[in-house]
Structure 1
Amino acid sequence: MSSRTSSERVTGSTHSTQERLYLSQEEGRRLEDLADQVVLDTIEYYDRFRFVEKRVVDPSAWKDVGHRDNLTVYRERSGPRPTYPSIRTLDGRLRLVPCKSAPSVKIVGMIQGTLDDEMYGCFVDSDDAVKTRTVFVDDAVQNFHWLATIAEPTQEDPFRFCGVARCTLGMSMPLAKTRGACMVISMGMSTTKHGERMGYYVAHSVDLSEPVNEHRYLRVNCSLCWLKTELANGKVELYMKGFVAPMGIVPEFAAFPVLVNCVLGIGQTSDTSYTKKLAWMIHDAGKSTRRLTQPPMDECIGKCKNAFGGPKNSAHFRRCIVCFKAVCNTCQVVRKVPVDVVDGRVNLNKCSLCILCMHRAKMLSAVAFARRDLRSKRWKSVDVGCTSTTGSSDQELALTPNMDRPFYETR
């Protein structure tokens, strides 16, 4: 596929020039179809694992290499003869990747939290959003930049996004070239043939001519897909399958741990969702309490008692940053909340809040917050600074989306 590239200056705090990849309508459609096909391929593996294999992983084909919470990571065992992974191309065919040190990885298990929280936590639609997520999930992604946007979120589908991006992977080593990727990344919600809600996240290498940039790296081949399914009992099941071929000469013991950290990070993103909700809650609290008197500091919000059954000493109390009520050390939760991104660095504030506000953050609708993010970005894009976008209600005023504007960028 022949893609055209050109530069445009993006005005921001850093005043840097960001390169963009311009796609025709047909090119954008083919890239989106490619990502959709990767999802369908992974769903076939998931259905076989769930209904044929009865959620039992064959130990002769897959080796258990790690655990995190309720998730298990498996590495494909090597056979008597070297095998190469295959990757789906833009024309729909499977192409062999000539790299021996590229074992497939698979993750299965149940996730803590709701499907909406998982999707809100992993959702990214800007360079700064990726940098912020990396701080919390440690996915080894660096120098990330969206080259083109193919599909954007809407109020009806706030977790939908598809685009082309490039990034470098892992930390640079003295005697090894930096690895990077040019990928189509797609995320969104779907429904299984059994009527269950399913979220997906795809990162799949594409062979495109990238714009020239200052980051020099050896391009890897990767195909990774995460499926998160909301089961009838309310639990969320994760099924992830894929591979990363580092190309060149890289020992597997150096490359595989980076891959495991990456896939586990994207596999568990509910905690990132809670942090994003807290950022909004702190923002709302700062506005709503400007005209109010702060509550007294004489009693902990958790009604805690000391060892003798009396009230705790208020000298050690702190204020919850959300509700501004007194909280003791036992009832407080300390969280790092992102403030902004300046010069590519995510600035965090360490905040103390009470367990009740933390519980409230977990219970609030992730969909409502995702829609607020979308409304806020649209208001800012038209420079309407005097209009409030801080309410939590879905009924608040919102910009009418321009349905005539294409989601892909053309020239």
Structure 2
Amino acid sequence: MRPFNISPPPTKQRKFLMQFPLPRNIFPVVELPLEQVQTLENNATSVVREIRDYYYDFLTTHHERVDLSEWKKLTTSSVSLMLAVGSLDGTVEDCMLGLQTPTSQRMQLKSAMPSPSQPFHEVAVKWAVEAHPFLVGTVMRVRDIVYLETTGFTTITGPDGAKQPLGYHLKHSIDLPDVHELTEFGIVRARLSYCYLYRQRSERVVDVFLRGFVCAMGDAPESLVVSTVTEIVMSIPKNLECAKMYKLAYLLKRATPPLKSSGSCKECSLCKRTVKPAAPGDIHKICCVCCARVCSSCRVVHKMLKVSPYKPGVTSEKMTFCVRCVRTASEISAALVAAHSVRDADADALPEHG
């Protein structure tokens, strides 16, 4: 594994017990020995296997029913373990596509990179720090985490006895000697371990299973833990929205400009409703992919993120798409988009992860 300098995430400067952004080069260059990399990967595999076995038991023994004598509602005062089950409209591959982070500007140490043949497989060590502006300095201190994140596919035997693909997304706290706790900045290192599983129930329905724990450590109130768990659970549907954005970005990169502008058209290109000609610079009435002139009923606006090779961080931009291109994007294979995003290391249109 190549050396990697873990730097603080770009965060707006705020005054609390400490200041953001943290000093650059706050950690030394980290280089993990091959043996340690293998150990981390083996540990991740073991955790995923354990959660998969628990899910299998949930499917077969408990017949997909949560034991209410074992699990309490999220609003209770003590949260040690968390369990979430449900379903989404979409596909497992779309869920996995929404997890992708193809930009190299993220703070991570990767031991397994996605490849065109395995675009959803990734193993990375990450560090994250988050401030809570209304609580820090009065109720609690800032938290950071160092964790192993893995995504990929395994298999599970379904209730009918047939093997099925099972998408997984694991986040698991680890200890690295070179990434010490930042006590001098008043930061508390939190601990977490949870895994999402995605299984295709039917053609357009994905079953989601989440199990794990979050421990804020230190003097954090129980309400913070409940809030964090809620955020983890509610982030699940965002994956499909992110997948939609990745597919639109895929179309954008391959769009061919028309020979003639449609800005002067007096009717919607889709429903033929009469519309006023677009004024110069009035690009929000024109589809960014096919450049068709569309009315308000036939267009949608999505916020896209652009990664600049000339400056750190990302910028957001609202873009207009016609419903026809949105439908075309939804029908594109998620595996195809993921494979192309691996090849296109300089991808500059990314979805905004809420």
TM-score greater than 0.5 by the shorter chain? yes
Can you give the 5+ residue segments of structure 1 that lack an aligned partner in the other structure? 10-15, 66-74, 79-100, 131-144, 305-310, 381-388, 391-411
Q: CA 1:373–1:233 in structure 2 vs 1: closer, same or farther (change >3 Å)?
A: closer
% identical aligned pairs? 25
1:180 to 144, 164, 189: 144
What letter matches 1:174 in structure 2? G
Q: String of CA shifts for 1:136-175, please: whole Å, max 9, x gaps.
A: xxxxxxxxx21x2211111111011102111124525123
SS at match of 1:326: coil
2:69 to 44, 60, 71: 60
Q: Retained in 2: the 8 A contact 1:189–1:199?
A: yes
Question: Within 5 Å, which residues of 2 pair with 1:12-411?
Answer: 17=25, 19-65=28-74, 102-124=79-101, 126=103, 128=105, 145-146=107-108, 148-169=109-130, 171-172=132-133, 173-175=136-138, 176-193=140-157, 194-211=162-179, 217-266=187-236, 268-285=238-255, 288-289=256-257, 292-295=259-262, 297-304=265-272, 311-315=273-277, 318-340=285-307, 345-377=313-345
- 186-195 or 350-359, which moves further after superposition? 186-195
Residue 211 of structure 1: how far off its partner (Å)? 3.6
Residue 234 of structure 1: how far off its partner (Å)? 4.6
Q: TM-score, normalised on structure 2?
A: 0.80
Q: String of CA shifts for 1:108-132, please: whole Å, max 9, x gaps.
A: 111122111111111225564x6xx
State the distance in 2 between where 1:125 and 1:19 align: 24
SS at match of 1:62: coil
- 151-160 or 265-274, which moves further after superposition? 265-274
Q: CA 1:126–1:318 in structure 2 vs 1: closer, same or farther (change >3 Å)?
A: closer
Q: CA 1:237–1:7 in structure 2 vs 1: closer, same or farther (change >3 Å)?
A: closer
SS at match of 1:335: strand
State the distance in 1 between where 2:44 and 2:252 align: 36
SS at match of 1:368: helix
Q: CA 1:125–1:104 in structure 2 vs 1: closer, same or farther (change >3 Å)?
A: farther
Alignment size in residue pairs:
315
What letter matches 1:106 in structure 2? L
What letter matches 2:189 in structure 1? R
Q: CA 1:44–1:179 in structure 2 vs 1: closer, same or farther (change >3 Å)?
A: same
Q: Retained in 2: the 8 A contact 1:238–1:267?
A: no
SS at match of 2:60: helix
Give RMSD over aligned pairs. 3.0
Q: TM-score, normalised on structure 1?
A: 0.69
State the distance in 2 between where 1:45 and 1:319 align: 50
SS at match of 1:226: strand
SS at match of 1:327: coil
Q: String of CA shifts for 1:160-203, please: whole Å, max 9, x gaps.
A: 11021111245251232211111111111122233211111100
State the distance in 2 between where 1:165 and 1:267 align: 23
State the distance in 1 between where 2:164 and 2:101 align: 24
Residue 372 of structure 1: how far off its partner (Å)? 1.2
Residue 330 of structure 1: how far off its partner (Å)? 1.1
